[in-house]
Every structure is written in C-alpha cells, then in structure tokens.
A and B are shown apart, each in its own frame.
Chain A
C-alpha cells in the first residue's frame, strides 16, 4: 500500500498531445476515481501509472520511488481490465496463481493467498473452471482476484463494470466498495459512469480533453463545481444552464434577470466590471420545485414528462428557447403543454463567467454545501 504522486505528466502520440500536464496526489489507502467524457485520456493516464505506456515528460512516484522507467512488474501495481483479460487456457486457480509462481514463492504460501482471495470474492466453488465456463460477473471477480493475490501497492481498474448488466453492475460496485474497506488499499479507478464515481470515490478527478478540471470529494464536486464542465458532468440528470445578464453588482450580491423569469438577487462575489455581461446560471433539477416559493423563478411550457415512480422529471421550455429540467414529486399531475412556474432558493444557484469559471458563492447554506 502506498501513495501516488503525478507531477506534470505529459503524453503525446507522435504529434498528438493527449495529456497536457497532469498533477495529482493520491494518499495511501485512498480510492480515487477518474471520470470524464470518452477520449479525454483517462485510460491513457491509468496505463501510464501501470507502466504500459511511456511518459513523454513529467514524473511519476509510487511510494516515494520515481518509477518513470520501471516496468509494470517492478512498480507493485495490479490492473483489472475492462475486458477481464483472463488467460483462457488456465483454470480460475491458475489464472490467479500465474503471476505468483514466478516470484518463486513457496507453494503453500501461494495456495493460501489464492484461497484467501477466492474466499473474499466467493470464487471457492469455481477454482477448477476455465474462464469460458464462467458468467460475466464471475469472470470479473476472477480478474479482481488475480489483482488481489499480488498484494499490490496500488490497484488500477479500467472501467471494470462496463461489460456487466445493470443489476450485476450495482452488485459488483458494492463488492468493490467492501473490498476497499477490507483491504484498505490505494485504488485508482477509471469510469465514465458518474454514479460509480460518486458512490465509490474518496476523491474524484474530473478530466476533460487531457486536463484535470477539478479534484475533490464527491460532495465538493456536486456542491462546488469550479467550472461549468464539472457542473454539467456531475449530477444526473445534468444541471440546467441558461444565459442571464448581470444587472446590478453589490458586495456579496448580484442581480440577474432570467429570461421568462423575474430578476433575482444571488449571493455571489462578482467583480464590478462584469456588470451588463452575459453569464451562465446553473441550477440542478433536484433543487427546483414547482411554485414560486424560492428567490429564483422560471416559467415555461412543459415539453416532456418522464415518470420514474418516486419522482417525475418535467422538461420546461423557457422564453429564450433554453430547456430546464425540474424534478417534481412522483405524484405530480402536470401535463404536457401546461405552463408552469418553478423556483429554487438563491443559495442553490451556480454562476459561471464567459470562460466557464465559477463565481465564488458567499454564505452558502448548509444544504447546498459540502462542509460537514
């Protein structure tokens, strides 16, 4: 078990720059999740940590050792692949023991380790089967078992659940969470499923186009996104955005007018020279409710109604053509074509400047804050 430090990691394939200087600290025993849209470089970064790709420039330290030029076997890592990558001609037992045999460890110790991993992952009954005789979930557990027996300093997972069906995905996700509690190991986990990221991570790293957008705990990212990208990426359904104009700036207060809504005073620290400029206002669907009880109101015509049972999503079309999603209670009887008013408390709002950077919120109410 160990900590991990990335310092200005750059990666290019020929003339194509894929990673543009990644800095990251992972503490011992931390569960870190990389999320981001497809092609943003998550897998590349993970493979660099594993030693499967060369670093173009920058430093990578595992447990205080510079490992830039070390081979995967000398880094003390274990990786679980999306495709499982089990050795098809070996039994489950041999799949797990294969890497150990080579360290010339004595047989009894190897056997004990494999059986312990099999017990943790409930593979005891399957040790003599071949991968082709296993279900997808079982194969994934074998792949995880193969990583566990190596007792690595750092576990690396590349989208380990994306080949599983929805129910199995939830189950395996819970198993991985339990595993982390049991082993207390450092884990780096790549996914593009934000539910996985939110539920598993101690720390989420949001990546975009080869850069780190923001690093923080799941709640920090949810409540205090530093950029519009993070705000839109974390949370489901995604945050609503609409363009607003800044009408008035006072210390700790800013007045904006929402198209099809009323001017609202929001608790943000905004520079005087932003006056009159267009900025982007963001509100999460779950922070909006029907009626005009909040300081921030929007009116719009209902386009689509999605009933999920416990809640109902209403898709409103505003006067300026923007769409806003509202999470209404499950018993809501709103119909398509109705014009409704929805509102949120001013503390729930997010405000982003023209470059997508968030303005600082002042006096954030507890329910919209990550502070414990």
Chain B
C-alpha cells in the first residue's frame, strides 16, 4: 500500500468520525436552538411556524417581559445559582480531599471505603426521596436552600471522588516525595502541588456536578417548593398549566436559564484543555 493511500484512508476515516460527531451535535443542539428562536416570537408564530426564524412581523419580546414582570424570576435565578455554586464548591473540596486520602495514604479499610463510595454512583439518590424528605423535615430544613445543597452534595460526591481518585493516582510519586523532602507539610502539598496539577480533572468534575443540579426539578419540588425558595426549573412550571401553557413565558425563561450555566461551563472548560503535568518529570 502506498503512502498516499494511507493518507486517503485516514482522511476518509476523519470525515466519517467528524460526520457522526457533527450529526450528534446538531441533534443535541437543535432543541435548544428551537427554544431560543421561539422565545423571540409571538405566540401565534410559535404555533404557525415553529421552525422559522423570528422576522419583523413575528418578532416579539412578550415572553421576556412577562417572565421578568409577572414572576420572581430574579429570585428563582438567585436560588438556582446559589445552590449550584455552593454545591460545586463543597463537592470539589470534599471530593478532592477524600480522593487524596484514598489514593495517597494506605490505611486499613482503604479499598472497602473506596468501593463503598463508588457504590453511590450506581444507586440513584431519588430512591431515597421519602427518607430524605423525612430527614429534612425532622431537621427543620424544609423549604430552605440548605436542604437542596445538602442533598446535591450527597448526590455529587461519589462520582467526583471516583474521577478525582483516578487522576490523583496519575500524579508521579516522585513529585509528592520531592515535596516531602522539601519539608512541605501534607496540607500544603495537597493545596499547592496536587490541586493545581489536577485542575483539568477538577473542572471536569465541576461540569459533571453542575449540570444535573441546575436542571433538577425533583428535589426542589419536594424539598423547597415554597415561595421565594423555588429554583428556575421549578419556577418555570408556573407557566405550564394543565389546560393552558404560556409558551412564550416558558421558552423565554428557559432561554434565560441557559445563560448562567453557559458562563460557568465556559469558565471550567478553559481548564479542561490544559495538560499541566508536562515538564514535571523527565
């Protein structure tokens, strides 16, 4: 086989792979695209021509004005944002520290503990909804954002620990030992050497943790449905009725809801790309 043929085969392979990925991207993005374009149309236009772009005739901001004027949108927004950010912070800190302990220190029960934490990935937390609700009621935390944060931290930790442990294993042993010989304490090694090195992994975990929380309807509905504590996904439900749904308002609030999570994603994804360990050893 000539060199040229290999090149051609590679090229056609690349075309196929990219074709598949592109199709998938389109399929995934199209609903979001529809939500956004329809948010800017009149109610009639939404039903008459759901696929069409808004034009001079059909353009309308009626959904946005309704959402911003008639509901506590800022409050929903604030609630979702607070819950998500606090949860991410707690999950990342606890998971990173647990992962460090599991990967670095040999103690009795190490493997069992790691396994126990991994099981959390496989058991859906919603199975425990009833007991969680009872617990939250007993703690007097019903209708608070704290309740949501606690539940989400529990939900996010197992996967976060699992992923971070794998990454910590990959940090060269020499690096930690060099730090120990340098007289650096274990906490400082963790915060000043290990965490900066696994930043890409931390960012990955942040994204994995953040999206299900932002999109969750279930726990806000059962734990914090009260006025002033609703999150965006729950807040939007007020526009969805049994008989009439205010599509303008629903689509507008969904469009708005995309923005903060998009910003968070952009912040974290910049970290994803970096391979930081280059130059550490050899």
A residues sitting closer than 8 Å to B (CB atoms) are 47, 50-52, 71-73, 77-79, 81-89, 98-99, 102-103, 130-134, 136, 139, 146, 150, 156, 163
Alpha-carbon gap, A88 to B181, bound state (A):
17
With A83-B174, A87-B193 already in contact, the answer to whether A50 and B181 are too (CB < 8 A) is yes
B124 contacts A by Cβ under 8 Å = no
- Let me know if A83 and B182 touch, CB within 8 A: no
Q: How far is the CB of B247 from chain A (nearest CB, A)?
A: 50
Residue of B175, B178, B188 with most partner-chain A CB within 10 A: B178
- Let me know if B174 and A81 touch, CB within 8 A: yes
B residues sitting closer than 8 Å to A (CB atoms) are 172, 174-175, 177-185, 188, 192-193, 196-197, 276-282
B279's partner among A77, A82, A88 (CB-CB below 8 A) is A88
Residue of B nearest to A73 (CB): B183
Residue of B nearest to A131 (CB): B279
With A87-B193, A102-B184 already in contact, the answer to whether A79 and B279 are too (CB < 8 A) is no
Alpha-carbon gap, A134 to B180, bound state (A):
24
- Let me know if B196 and A52 touch, CB within 8 A: no
- Let me know if A131 and B183 touch, CB within 8 A: no
Kindly list chain B residues whose C-beta atoms are within 8 Å of the C-beta of A52.
177, 180-181
A88's partner among B179, B184, B185, B277 (CB-CB below 8 A) is B277
Kindly list chain B residues whose C-beta atoms are within 8 Å of the C-beta of A134.
279
- 28 CB < 8 A contacts A-B: A50-B181, A52-B181, A72-B180, A72-B181, A73-B184, A73-B185, A77-B181, A78-B181, A79-B178, A83-B281, A84-B281, A84-B282, A85-B172, A85-B174, A85-B280, A86-B178, A87-B175, A87-B178, A88-B279, A89-B196, A89-B276, A98-B192, A99-B179, A99-B182, A102-B188, A130-B279, A131-B279, A136-B282
Alpha-carbon gap, A72 to B189, bound state (A):
14
Q: What are the nearest 10 A-B pairs in CB distance?
A: A132-B279, A99-B182, A73-B183, A85-B178, A85-B174, A131-B279, A83-B281, A88-B280, A79-B181, A81-B174
Residue of B nearest to A103 (CB): B183
Alpha-carbon gap, A130 to B278, bound state (A):
10
